[in-house]
Protein backbone atom coordinates (compact mmCIF):
# COMPACT_ATOMS: atom_id res chain seq x y z
CA UNK A 1 0.00 0.00 0.00
CA UNK A 2 1.34 3.47 -0.85
CA UNK A 3 2.03 6.10 1.81
CA UNK A 4 0.58 9.60 1.37
CA UNK A 5 0.11 12.67 3.52
CA UNK A 6 -3.00 13.64 5.43
CA UNK A 7 -3.39 16.63 3.10
CA UNK A 8 -3.15 14.44 0.00
CA UNK A 9 -5.71 12.05 1.47
CA UNK A 10 -8.23 14.89 1.90
CA UNK A 11 -7.71 16.03 -1.69
CA UNK A 12 -7.96 12.49 -3.02
CA UNK A 13 -11.19 11.78 -1.14
CA UNK A 14 -12.85 14.89 -2.57
CA UNK A 15 -11.53 14.35 -6.10
CA UNK A 16 -12.69 10.74 -6.25
CA UNK A 17 -16.17 11.69 -5.05
CA UNK A 18 -16.41 14.61 -7.50
CA UNK A 19 -15.49 12.34 -10.41
CA UNK A 20 -18.30 10.00 -9.39
CA UNK A 21 -21.01 12.48 -8.38
CA UNK A 22 -21.69 15.67 -10.32
CA UNK A 23 -23.75 17.05 -7.41
CA UNK A 24 -20.59 17.46 -5.31
CA UNK A 25 -18.77 20.78 -5.51
CA UNK A 26 -16.39 22.82 -3.35
CA UNK A 27 -16.69 26.46 -2.34
CA UNK A 28 -14.51 28.73 -0.24
CA UNK A 29 -12.00 31.54 -0.15
CA UNK A 30 -8.95 31.17 -2.44
CA UNK A 31 -9.62 27.48 -3.11
CA UNK A 32 -9.22 27.82 -6.88
CA UNK A 33 -5.91 28.74 -8.52
CA UNK A 34 -4.31 29.43 -5.15
CA UNK A 35 -5.35 26.00 -3.84
CA UNK A 36 -6.65 27.05 -0.44
CA UNK A 37 -4.93 28.46 2.64
CA UNK A 38 -3.02 25.21 3.21
CA UNK A 39 -2.92 23.94 -0.38
CA UNK A 40 -5.49 21.19 0.07
CA UNK A 41 -7.41 21.98 -3.15
CA UNK A 42 -4.31 22.70 -5.26
CA UNK A 43 -4.80 21.42 -8.81
CA UNK A 44 -8.50 20.70 -8.43
CA UNK A 45 -9.72 23.70 -10.40
CA UNK A 46 -7.68 22.49 -13.38
CA UNK A 47 -9.57 19.17 -13.33
CA UNK A 48 -13.06 20.25 -12.29
CA UNK A 49 -13.25 23.87 -13.43
CA UNK A 50 -14.45 27.04 -11.69
CA UNK A 51 -18.10 25.92 -11.58
CA UNK A 52 -17.27 23.06 -9.21
CA UNK A 53 -14.29 24.61 -7.42
CA UNK A 54 -15.83 27.96 -6.64
CA UNK A 55 -13.89 30.88 -5.22
CA UNK A 56 -16.07 32.96 -2.93
CA UNK A 57 -15.98 36.46 -1.45
CA UNK A 58 -14.47 36.88 2.02
CA UNK A 59 -17.71 36.20 3.87
CA UNK A 60 -17.92 33.04 5.95
CA UNK A 61 -21.58 33.66 6.65
CA UNK A 62 -22.22 33.99 2.92
CA UNK A 63 -20.25 30.83 2.11
CA UNK A 64 -22.16 28.82 4.71
CA UNK A 65 -25.49 30.28 3.58
CA UNK A 66 -24.77 29.37 -0.04
CA UNK A 67 -23.85 25.84 1.04
CA UNK A 68 -27.05 25.41 3.03
CA UNK A 69 -29.17 26.72 0.17
CA UNK A 70 -27.51 24.55 -2.47
CA UNK A 71 -27.78 21.47 -0.22
CA UNK A 72 -31.51 22.08 0.22
CA UNK A 73 -31.95 22.10 -3.57
CA UNK A 74 -30.19 18.77 -4.11
CA UNK A 75 -26.49 19.57 -4.32
CA UNK A 76 -23.84 18.14 -1.96
CA UNK A 77 -21.52 21.06 -1.17
CA UNK A 78 -18.15 20.91 0.58
CA UNK A 79 -17.32 24.31 2.02
CA UNK A 80 -13.84 25.14 3.18
CA UNK A 81 -13.29 27.76 5.87
CA UNK A 82 -9.64 28.86 5.97
CA UNK A 83 -9.43 28.58 9.76
CA UNK A 84 -11.82 26.88 12.14
CA UNK A 85 -11.97 30.06 14.23
CA UNK A 86 -14.06 31.59 11.42
CA UNK A 87 -16.91 29.23 12.20
CA UNK A 88 -17.85 31.94 14.68
CA UNK A 89 -18.79 34.22 11.76
CA UNK A 90 -20.91 31.52 10.11
CA UNK A 91 -22.48 30.14 13.27
CA UNK A 92 -26.00 31.39 12.56
CA UNK A 93 -26.12 29.54 9.24
CA UNK A 94 -24.57 26.43 10.79
CA UNK A 95 -26.38 26.20 14.14
CA UNK A 96 -29.73 27.81 13.33
CA UNK A 97 -30.21 26.72 9.72
CA UNK A 98 -28.14 23.69 8.66
CA UNK A 99 -28.55 21.86 11.97
CA UNK A 100 -32.31 22.37 12.29
CA UNK A 101 -33.87 22.31 8.81
CA UNK A 102 -34.32 18.54 8.56
CA UNK A 103 -35.99 18.41 11.98
CA UNK A 104 -38.24 21.42 11.39
CA UNK A 105 -39.48 20.09 8.05
CA UNK A 106 -40.10 16.56 9.28
CA UNK A 107 -37.36 15.09 7.13
CA UNK A 108 -38.70 16.57 3.87
CA UNK A 109 -35.75 18.92 3.63
CA UNK A 110 -32.15 17.88 4.23
CA UNK A 111 -28.77 19.60 4.27
CA UNK A 112 -26.11 17.12 3.04
CA UNK A 113 -23.10 19.43 3.36
CA UNK A 114 -19.59 19.03 4.72
CA UNK A 115 -17.84 21.97 6.36
CA UNK A 116 -14.08 21.34 6.21
CA UNK A 117 -11.78 23.53 8.24
CA UNK A 118 -8.20 23.51 9.62
CA UNK A 119 -8.06 23.72 13.40
CA UNK A 120 -5.63 23.85 16.28
CA UNK A 121 -2.41 25.57 17.27
CA UNK A 122 1.25 24.94 16.62
CA UNK A 123 1.81 27.11 13.55
CA UNK A 124 2.35 30.50 15.22
CA UNK A 125 -0.99 31.77 13.92
CA UNK A 126 -1.83 33.37 17.30
CA UNK A 127 -5.07 34.01 19.16
CA UNK A 128 -7.59 34.40 16.32
CA UNK A 129 -6.37 31.58 14.05
CA UNK A 130 -5.39 28.75 16.43
CA UNK A 131 -8.42 27.82 18.49
CA UNK A 132 -10.11 24.46 18.94
CA UNK A 133 -13.83 25.16 19.23
CA UNK A 134 -15.21 21.71 18.45
CA UNK A 135 -17.14 21.58 21.74
CA UNK A 136 -19.24 24.51 20.53
CA UNK A 137 -20.62 22.70 17.50
CA UNK A 138 -20.78 19.33 19.26
CA UNK A 139 -23.34 20.95 21.57
CA UNK A 140 -25.76 21.61 18.68
CA UNK A 141 -28.25 18.82 17.89
CA UNK A 142 -28.34 18.10 14.15
CA UNK A 143 -24.62 18.52 13.51
CA UNK A 144 -22.11 15.68 13.21
CA UNK A 145 -18.54 16.44 14.26
CA UNK A 146 -15.43 14.65 12.98
CA UNK A 147 -11.76 14.94 14.05
CA UNK A 148 -9.49 12.56 12.08
CA UNK A 149 -5.94 11.98 13.33
CA UNK A 150 -4.32 10.02 10.46
CA UNK A 151 -4.21 10.12 6.67
CA UNK A 152 -5.98 6.75 6.51
CA UNK A 153 -8.77 7.94 8.79
CA UNK A 154 -9.23 11.30 7.10
CA UNK A 155 -9.90 9.76 3.68
CA UNK A 156 -12.37 7.18 4.97
CA UNK A 157 -14.17 9.57 7.30
CA UNK A 158 -14.44 12.27 4.63
CA UNK A 159 -16.05 9.75 2.27
CA UNK A 160 -18.59 8.90 5.00
CA UNK A 161 -19.20 12.60 5.65
CA UNK A 162 -19.82 13.30 1.95
CA UNK A 163 -22.33 10.43 1.81
CA UNK A 164 -24.22 11.62 4.91
CA UNK A 165 -27.51 13.47 4.46
CA UNK A 166 -26.82 15.63 7.52
CA UNK A 167 -24.41 18.57 7.96
CA UNK A 168 -20.97 17.42 9.07
CA UNK A 169 -18.31 19.66 10.64
CA UNK A 170 -14.99 18.15 9.59
CA UNK A 171 -11.94 19.35 11.51
CA UNK A 172 -8.48 18.89 9.96
CA UNK A 173 -5.60 19.70 12.32
CA UNK A 174 -2.97 21.95 10.73
CA UNK A 175 -0.04 20.03 12.19
CA UNK A 176 -1.35 16.76 10.77
CA UNK A 177 -1.41 17.86 7.12
CA UNK A 178 2.19 16.67 6.54
CA UNK A 179 1.83 13.44 8.54
CA UNK A 180 1.82 10.22 6.52
CA UNK A 181 0.25 6.78 6.69
CA UNK A 182 -0.68 3.91 4.39
CA UNK A 183 -3.80 4.81 2.42
CA UNK A 184 -5.55 2.68 -0.23
CA UNK A 185 -5.95 4.25 -3.66
CA UNK A 186 -9.56 3.09 -3.99
CA UNK A 187 -12.47 4.75 -2.24
CA UNK A 188 -13.41 3.44 1.18
CA UNK A 189 -15.61 4.65 4.02
CA UNK A 190 -15.14 4.65 7.80
CA UNK A 191 -18.54 4.87 9.54
CA UNK A 192 -19.13 8.00 11.58
CA UNK A 193 -19.42 7.02 15.23
CA UNK A 194 -16.80 4.27 15.16
CA UNK A 195 -13.79 4.83 17.43
CA UNK A 196 -10.40 3.25 16.80
CA UNK A 197 -8.12 1.58 19.31
CA UNK A 198 -4.80 3.02 18.18
CA UNK A 199 -2.86 1.04 20.78
CA UNK A 200 -3.92 -1.73 23.13
CA UNK A 201 -2.93 -1.67 26.81
CA UNK A 202 -3.96 -2.81 30.27
CA UNK A 203 -3.01 -0.18 32.87
CA UNK A 204 -4.63 3.10 31.77
CA UNK A 205 -6.89 4.27 28.96
CA UNK A 206 -6.11 7.51 27.14
CA UNK A 207 -8.90 8.99 25.04
CA UNK A 208 -7.32 11.60 22.77
CA UNK A 209 -8.48 13.66 19.79
CA UNK A 210 -6.79 15.10 16.69
CA UNK A 211 -3.08 15.94 17.22
CA UNK A 212 -3.30 14.65 20.79
CA UNK A 213 -3.65 11.10 19.45
CA UNK A 214 -0.08 11.29 18.14
CA UNK A 215 1.17 12.75 21.43
CA UNK A 216 -0.69 10.09 23.41
CA UNK A 217 1.00 7.38 21.35
CA UNK A 218 4.40 8.99 21.97
CA UNK A 219 3.63 9.11 25.68
CA UNK A 220 2.59 5.44 25.59
CA UNK A 221 5.95 4.55 24.03
CA UNK A 222 7.78 6.35 26.82
CA UNK A 223 5.65 4.79 29.53
CA UNK A 224 6.19 1.32 28.10
CA UNK A 225 9.90 1.66 28.94
CA UNK A 226 8.84 1.89 32.59
CA UNK A 227 6.57 -1.12 32.36
CA UNK A 228 3.33 0.85 32.06
CA UNK A 229 0.85 -0.42 29.46
CA UNK A 230 -1.39 2.29 27.97
CA UNK A 231 -4.42 1.86 25.73
CA UNK A 232 -5.01 4.77 23.33
CA UNK A 233 -8.52 5.36 21.99
CA UNK A 234 -9.22 7.79 19.14
CA UNK A 235 -12.97 8.59 19.02
CA UNK A 236 -12.52 9.94 15.46
CA UNK A 237 -16.02 11.42 15.65
CA UNK A 238 -17.31 13.41 18.60
CA UNK A 239 -20.87 13.29 17.29
CA UNK A 240 -21.91 10.53 17.07
CA UNK A 241 -19.63 9.23 19.84
CA UNK A 242 -18.67 5.57 20.09
CA UNK A 243 -19.39 5.20 23.80
CA UNK A 244 -19.20 1.41 23.76
CA UNK A 245 -15.51 1.25 22.77
CA UNK A 246 -14.51 3.78 25.44
CA UNK A 247 -16.57 2.12 28.17
CA UNK A 248 -15.12 -1.29 27.31
CA UNK A 249 -11.57 0.05 27.48
CA UNK A 250 -12.03 1.87 30.79
CA UNK A 251 -13.74 -1.17 32.30
CA UNK A 252 -10.64 -3.17 31.37
CA UNK A 253 -7.93 -0.73 32.55
CA UNK A 254 -9.76 0.88 35.49
CA UNK A 255 -8.27 4.30 34.69
CA UNK A 256 -8.96 7.13 32.25
CA UNK A 257 -7.00 10.13 30.98
CA UNK A 258 -8.79 12.39 28.48
CA UNK A 259 -6.61 14.67 26.35
CA UNK A 260 -7.65 17.41 23.95
CA UNK A 261 -6.16 20.66 22.74
CA UNK A 262 -9.19 22.84 23.37
CA UNK A 263 -9.42 24.84 26.60
CA UNK A 264 -10.06 22.38 29.41
CA UNK A 265 -12.99 24.32 30.86
CA UNK A 266 -16.10 23.37 28.90
CA UNK A 267 -14.07 21.14 26.59
CA UNK A 268 -15.34 17.89 25.10
CA UNK A 269 -13.24 15.93 27.59
CA UNK A 270 -15.84 16.76 30.22
CA UNK A 271 -18.46 14.99 28.09
CA UNK A 272 -16.34 11.85 27.89
CA UNK A 273 -15.61 11.94 31.63
CA UNK A 274 -19.29 12.36 32.54
CA UNK A 275 -20.28 9.58 30.13
CA UNK A 276 -17.94 7.22 31.98
CA UNK A 277 -19.22 8.46 35.36
CA UNK A 278 -22.77 7.64 34.28
CA UNK A 279 -21.90 4.23 32.81
CA UNK A 280 -21.16 0.77 34.19
CA UNK A 281 -17.45 1.55 33.74
CA UNK A 282 -17.61 3.83 36.79
CA UNK A 283 -17.63 0.81 39.10
CA UNK A 284 -14.35 -0.37 37.58
CA UNK A 285 -12.45 2.90 38.13
CA UNK A 286 -9.43 2.54 40.44
CA UNK A 287 -8.47 6.23 40.28
CA UNK A 288 -10.12 9.59 39.55
CA UNK A 289 -10.50 10.53 35.88
CA UNK A 290 -7.82 12.95 34.66
CA UNK A 291 -8.55 15.64 32.06
CA UNK A 292 -5.87 17.51 30.09
CA UNK A 293 -6.71 20.52 27.95
CA UNK A 294 -5.59 23.95 26.90
CA UNK A 295 -4.94 26.82 29.28
CA UNK A 296 -7.68 29.35 30.01
CA UNK A 297 -6.25 32.15 27.91
CA UNK A 298 -6.10 33.19 24.26
CA UNK A 299 -3.39 31.26 22.41
CA UNK A 300 -0.10 33.21 22.45
CA UNK A 301 1.95 34.08 19.37
CA UNK A 302 5.28 33.36 21.07
CA UNK A 303 6.23 29.77 20.08
CA UNK A 304 7.33 28.70 23.56
CA UNK A 305 4.21 30.13 25.19
CA UNK A 306 2.07 28.57 22.46
CA UNK A 307 3.60 25.18 23.16
CA UNK A 308 3.06 25.61 26.89
CA UNK A 309 -0.58 26.51 26.28
CA UNK A 310 -1.64 23.01 25.18
CA UNK A 311 -0.82 19.50 26.46
CA UNK A 312 2.51 18.02 25.38
CA UNK A 313 3.91 14.50 25.70
CA UNK A 314 5.45 15.07 29.19
CA UNK A 315 2.07 16.31 30.45
CA UNK A 316 0.38 13.13 29.26
CA UNK A 317 3.10 10.94 30.79
CA UNK A 318 2.67 12.73 34.11
CA UNK A 319 -1.13 12.36 34.05
CA UNK A 320 -0.96 8.64 33.36
CA UNK A 321 1.51 8.15 36.24
CA UNK A 322 -0.80 10.08 38.55
CA UNK A 323 -3.64 7.67 37.79
CA UNK A 324 -1.29 4.88 38.83
CA UNK A 325 -0.02 6.81 41.87
CA UNK A 326 3.50 6.73 40.46
CA UNK A 327 6.03 9.55 40.13
Active site residues: 129
Measured between alpha carbons, how far is 115 from 78 in angstroms, rounded to an integer?
A: 6
Closest CA to 112 of 17, 196, 29, 6: 17
| φ/ψ of residue 232, rounded to 5 | -115, 120
The DSSP line for 150-177 is: SHHHHHHHHHHHHH-SS-EEEEEEGGGT
DSSP state of 286: S
Q: What is residue 291's three-state secondary structure?
A: strand
Q: Is the peptide bond before 240 cis (omega within 30 degrees of 0)?
A: yes
Measured between alpha carbons, how far is 310 from 293 in angstroms, rounded to an integer?
A: 6
Q: What is residue 182's three-state secondary structure?
A: strand
Q: How far is CA 173 from CA 4, 73, 83, 93, 198, in A?
A: 16, 31, 10, 23, 18
| φ/ψ of residue 230, rounded to 5 | -115, 135
| φ/ψ of residue 139, rounded to 5 | -75, -15
Closest CA to 8 of 131, 193, 16: 16
Measured between alpha carbons, how far is 213 from 71 in angstroms, rounded to an integer?
A: 33
Query: Do 93 and 68 contact (CB within 8 A), yes or no?
Result: yes
Amino acid sequence: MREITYLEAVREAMSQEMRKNDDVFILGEDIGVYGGAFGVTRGMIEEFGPERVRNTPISESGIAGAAVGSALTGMRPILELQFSDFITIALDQIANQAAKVRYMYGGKGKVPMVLRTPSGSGTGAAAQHSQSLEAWVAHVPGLKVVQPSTAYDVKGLLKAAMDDDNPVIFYEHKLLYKSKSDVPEEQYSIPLGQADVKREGTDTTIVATAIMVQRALEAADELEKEGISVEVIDPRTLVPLDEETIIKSVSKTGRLVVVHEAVKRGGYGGEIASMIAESAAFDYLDAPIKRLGGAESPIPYNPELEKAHVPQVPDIVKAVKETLNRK
